Amino acid sequence: MGTFKAKFRVWNPANPEKVEELEAVVDTGASFSWISRSRLERLGLARSRQMPFRTIEGRVLERDLAAVYIAIDGYSAPDVVVMAESGETEVLGAHSIEGLGMAADPVQKKLTPTVMLALAASENVGTDPDRELLTRVAGVENFARSVLHDDLLDDWNVAKDLGELLVRIAPDEIVGHAFLVTAHRHLCNTAKARAELKECRDLIALHQMTSCEEAALLPLLAVEEKLLSQSEA
């Protein structure tokens, strides 16, 4: 496929007010997107885990991953990206593109919305639940803001499922647990909401937060504490 570039936005789910806009090479041969570490750190993002990657020359590199939100042309979705080191090219990879419900058009040299594959070779195999979930999330404009700031969503089970996915990918990241607090509160499961709120506070105590994360997360947790207390009264 001929290479081309695409413009997109990326932000910290815990602080959606601060956004980085960039243009990167579209490479569907790359499993993950690679975004410069310095750019991600400006957003207050820290590594969630490490993963090995094999280069085209056969070398194996260890790189940090970070949980982000990404958006292109009104489509947005949660994502996990590689924190690229100095000198490494920023790339928009297959995981990000498919998570947005898009495909690369090599003729027009642009990304276009597409209908994602739901079934494998037979109906008995079933669907990929994670990909289906990310497609649903991508269909909600500013999903993170809707959940964490506006407290408005048509289906709170989507927020619950996304929170569970983020916790599975990056258990030490607060954002997934924050999604679960709000989702469980709306789904009238105050015990689980309380447990996730405690998990958020435990993670804050264990990990030093950046000033951006404190400014974004602490007021949200205080609001959740208040709303949960009101629902239990």
Give residue 213's Cα distance to chain centre.
16
Q: Which residues contact 147 (CB under 8 A, 6 or more apart)?
A: 153, 159, 179, 182, 183
Average pLDDT over residues 90-94: 92
Q: How confident is the model at residue 145 (pLDDT cuts 50, 70, 90)?
A: confident
**Residue 10, beta-bridge partner list:** 20, 70
Give the CA distances from residue 187 to residues 110, 153, 156, in Å, rounded to whole numbers and listed in that order.
Answer: 40, 12, 7
Report pLDDT for 191: 92
The domain spans of the chain are: 5-113, 140-232
Cβ proximity of 158 and 147 under 8 Å: no
Cβ proximity of 69 and 33 under 8 Å: no
Residues in the chain: 233
Residue 1 predicted with pLDDT over 50: no
Can you identify the CATH homologous superfamily of domain 5-113? Acid Proteases (2.40.70.10)
For residue range 14-65, list pLDDT tens digits in order.
Answer: 888 889 999 999 988 788 999 999 999 999 998 888 889 887 777 888 999 9
Report pLDDT for 116: 63
Dihedral (Cα; 72, 77, 78, 79), 10-degree rounding:
-50
Rg of the chain over Cα atoms, rounded to whole angstroms, equals: 18
Q: pTM, whole model, 2 decimals?
A: 0.57
Strands 15-27, 91-93: parallel, antiparallel or unpaired by DSSP? parallel
Q: How confident is the model at residue 108 (pLDDT cuts 50, 70, 90)?
A: confident
Residue 114 predicted with pLDDT over 50: yes
Cβ proximity of 79 and 95 under 8 Å: yes
By mean pLDDT, which of 104-118, 134-148, 185-199 is the weakest? 104-118
DSSP string of 11-44, one letter each residue: EETTEEEEEEEEEEEEETTSSS-EEEHHHHHHTT
Report pLDDT for 9: 95
Report pLDDT for 118: 55
For residue range 164-223, list pLDDT tens digits in order.
Answer: 988 888 788 788 899 999 999 999 999 999 999 999 888 888 876 666 566 667 888 899
Q: How far apart are CA 100 and CA 112, in angstroms?
A: 10
